[in-house]
Structure 1
Amino acid sequence: MPKISDKGQRMPASPIRKLTPYADKAKQDGKKVYHLNIGQPDIATPDGMLSAIKNIDFKVWAYTPSEGTLSYRKKLTEYYNKIGYGITPDDIIVTTGGSEAITIAMMACLDSGDEVIIPEPFYANYNGFASQGDIVVKPILSYIDNGFALPPVSEFEKLITEKTKAIIICNPNNPTGYLYSKEEMDALKELVLKHDLYLFSDEAYREFCYDGRTFISPMHLDGLEENVVVMDTVSKRYSACGARLGCMITKNKELRTTALKFAQARLSAGMVEQIAGEAAVDTPDSYFEAVNKEYTSRRDTLVAALNKMDGVYCPNPGGAFYVVAKLPIDNADKFCQWMLETFSLNNETVMMAPATGFYSTPGAGANEVRMAYVLNNDDLAKAMACLEEALKVYPGRTVGSEQLSVGSL
């Protein structure tokens, strides 16, 4: 039998999806599963996007330009300049989802063996994308005790070598929901300029900022024009995950020219998706206001319920629609699988993502889980009731550093 590639063997499994077989089995057994494991919103996609698809009238479903259609890039420019990015259509490459924006950015900016620093916990697929390009991820720990704030610049400095080429941030953050402050962004700016690094800014959750807090992009900071690469997607903003439509933005003309070669190699993003994306830009502000209000309510429901549970701690996130919670458990991977295989309350259970998959540091996040508050408040309340009861009887429950035996529960 031919040998699988070393790269393929190193490729990490998704912590978000790897427990799916257990969830499927639980459903086959008649259990209701509350899916808090994946950021699939239940919010309705804007009518304008759906209408644009329904009213399509073309005779040939053709290729589009590798950089994206000019009409869509012009429309995107309106959106980004409305929030102060000061770009032109030539600064945009349309991609097949935000994932391709990340991979093209990595391929265009980093060589095999180059290093990228990422505050962790981080979006798990960064590991996978880096693995594809033989890029070395250098994680820098952030901590649940201070809400996963950006680590001090001095900690970044310790990791920088001659192989360091970039820093990746996700703001607001997936998986923690942390929203970086202006002071933190300014500190990153100085670090990037000092060491002449790329700053990749994953902005998939830009619209989801709560409690009147302000989103700050590196695109808002003067002097970073040659360093910043924005990676974006329509998936979360318009509740259109299945559209698989994103973009990469940079004012660095040499980088944009290089990235276009990778875009040409995969031919083009979809025509239908770009038609829908163009219509999406005209989505009224009232849509986002209603969505923001709904997610704020869901966040409050989830965080309050978690922090009322014995031995549980969950910081209050400033953005996105995720939380990372610390639970009184021995092993998050075992616990999440046990929830699906063994536990149910009124024939219901909860699917979560073990936080270990969002860290690169061995052992980090062993007692943490990520939850996406993409269900309505009633379902969230039922899911939390289920989780609370599960924690009372889980065989690997811990109190402080002491593990309880099954017989003591």
Structure 2
Amino acid sequence: MPEISVRGLEMPQSPIRKLAPLANDAKKRGIKVYHLNIGQPDLPTPQCGLDALKNIDRSILEYSPSQGFQSYREKLIPYYKKFNINITPDDIIITTGGSEAVLFAFMACLNPGDEIIVPEPAYANYMAFAISAGAKIRTIATSIEEGFALPRVEQFEKLINEKTRAIMICNPNNPTGYLYTRREMNQIRDLVRKYDLYLFSDEVYREYIYTGSPYISVLNLEGLEDNAVLIDSVSKRYSECGIRVGALITRNPEIRQAVMKFCQARLSPPLLGQIVAEASLDAPEEYYRDVYDEYVERRKTLIDGLNRIPGVYSPIPMGAFYTVAKLPVDDSEKFCRWCLADFNYEGETVMMAPASGFYTTPGAGKNQVRIAYVLKKEDLQRALVVLKKALEQYPGRVDDE
């Protein structure tokens, strides 16, 4: 048979989803699985969004414009203004989720062989999108001991060469929950300007910041009008992962013109999704406040509980709804597989994402997992009990001497 493409062979499996068959098998055996592996919120979608979906009155479900509905883009302007992001509807291109926005940004701005610097651990799909674009991810390490703070400028400059084309950040960060400080954002801005790079910034978790520190958008940074591309999505903001609506935002008209060619090739973003997303902008402030308060409580429940388990350490995440935790295990992927295939406590087990899938450096994150606190507090508390029992029984447990 013909050979599979190099691109297809190099494409990494998702560390978030690749263990799903084991979870499904566990459920078939009657075991309850606490899903801590994926950022699928269990909080309700805004009622105004659900009502818009239920009350669609169209005789044809037509293509939408390739850039997205004008009415939706116009309605987004006051939303972004709340975060001091001043843009026009023409700066916004609606995409099929934030994932398509990342892919189209890479395809429009990068040539095959170009390099992107990304702090690691990083959202695993960035690697997949880079492979799709023929580009290469160069990672700069952050450490769990330092709370995943950004390394010094000199560490970035060691990686910059004639192939370096961009820096990519996620702020607040998935998978670590880290929030970049103003100093760190200014450091990145200065690097981008000095070397004339693109700066891609995934900012889908801006609603969830727990420290009182300000959220600094890439579009708040002066002097990057031609360099900055913001990636956004409604998936986590409104618990609307399934409608697949995101956005690519940039003030650079040349980037938008290039991205639009890819948008036209895929025809249009989701019609029904845009209808729901546009309506969801009418969600009352009470909705945002209740969701935020719930995540604050879940964060405290999870982080306090993790750090009470012998041998486990998690820094306190400052944003998003994830944390990366260090476990006393020989290999977190083996441990996660074992939890699903060979272990249960009183008919229950936990599913987590091995953190090694969020690193490209060989061996990095081998004893770490990413945990999403998207379950209600009672379930998180029970999941912590099950995790503690799993760590006590795991054959590959490794305790510090």
Q: Distance in 1 between matches of 2:98 and 2:293?
A: 25
Equivalent position of 1:257 in the other structure: 257
- Aligned residue number for residue 330 of structure 1: 330
Deviation at 1:306, TM superposition (A): 0.7
- 1:287-366 to 2 correspondence within 5 Å? 287-366=287-366
Aligned partner of 1:65 in structure 2 is: 65
Q: Name the CA distance, whole Å, in 1 between partners of 2:123 and 2:271.
A: 28
Map of 1:81 onto structure 2: 81
Moved more, 281-290 or 97-106: 281-290
Q: 1:282 Cα shift?
A: 1.6
Structure 1 CA distance, aligned partners of 2:71 and 2:349? 46
Give the AA of the match of 2:159. L
Deviation at 1:258, TM superposition (A): 0.9
Given residue 123 of structure 2, which amino acid in structure 1 is its aligned partner? Y
The CA distance in 2 between the partners of 1:112 and 1:254, in whole Å, is 19
Which structure 2 residues correspond to residues 146-185 of structure 1 after superposition, within 5 A?
Answer: 146-185=146-185
Amino acid aligned to 2:18: K
Deviation per CA, 1:277-299: give whole Å up to 9, x if none: 11111212211111111001101
Once the two structures are TM-superposed, the CA of residue 270 in structure 1 deviates from its matched residue by: 1.5
- Name structure 1 gaps, 5 residues minimum: 402-409
Deviation track 1:181-214 (CA, whole Å, cap 9, x = no partner) reads: 1111011111110000111010111101113232
Match of 1:3, SS state, is: coil
The C-alpha deviation readout for 1:287-322, integer Å capped at 9, x for no partner, is: 111111100110101101110111111000000000
SS at match of 2:230: strand
Letter in 2 for 1:323: T
Given residue 375 of structure 1, which amino acid in structure 2 is its aligned partner?
Answer: L
Matched to 2:356, the amino acid is T
Alignment-derived partner of residue 98 in structure 2 = 98
Structure 2 matches for 1:118-133, cutoff 5 A?
Answer: 118-133=118-133
| Alpha-carbon separation, structure 2, partners of 1:62 and 1:393 | 55
- The aligned counterpart of 2:51 is 51
Whole-Å separation in 2 of the counterparts to 1:127 and 1:74: 32
How far does residue 78 in structure 1 lie from its aligned partner after superposition? 2.1
Give the deviation of 1:4 after TM superposition.
1.1
Amino acid in the other structure paired with 1:251: R
In structure 2, distance between residues paired with 1:288 and 1:154: 39
Paired residue for 2:29?
A: 29
Give CA deviations for 1:88-113 in whole Å, capped at 9, x if unaligned. 01001100000000000000000100
Letter in structure 2 aligned against 1:268: S
Q: Distance in 1 between matches of 2:82 and 2:307?
A: 38
Deviates more, 1:211-220 or 1:113-122: 211-220
Q: SS in structure 1 opposite 2:286?
A: helix
Q: Which residue does 2:145 correspond to in 1?
A: 145
Amino acid at match of 1:289: R
1:387, 1:150 → 2: CA distance? 30
Summarize deviations over 1:119-160 as a string: whole Å, max 9, x none: 000000001111111110001100000110111111110000
Superposed CA RMSD: 0.8
Shift of 1:5: 1.0
Q: What is the CA–CA distance in structure 1 between the aligned matches of 2:371 and 2:239, rounded to whole Å? A: 18
Q: 2:304 is matched by which residue type in structure 1? A: A
- Equivalents in 1 of 2:286, 2:227: separation in Å? 34
User: Secondary structure in 2 aligned to 1:398?
Assistant: coil
Gaps of 5+ in 2: none
Shift of 1:81: 2.1
Q: Which residue is equivalent to 1:391?
A: 391
Q: What TM-score does the superposition give when structure 1 sets the normalisation length?
A: 0.97
- Partners of 1:282 and 1:309 lie apart in 2 by 42
TM-score norm. by structure 2 comes to: 0.99
* Displacement after TM superposition at 1:82 (Å): 2.6
Q: Which residue of 1 aligns with 2:108?
A: 108
Superposition deviation, residue 323 in structure 1: 0.6
How far 1:13 sits from its partner (Å)? Answer: 0.4
Size of the aligned set, in residue pairs, is 401
Question: Structure 2 CA distance, aligned partners of 1:6 and 1:158?
Answer: 29
Alpha-carbon distance between aligned partners in 2 of 1:21 and 1:63, rounded to the nearest angstrom: 35
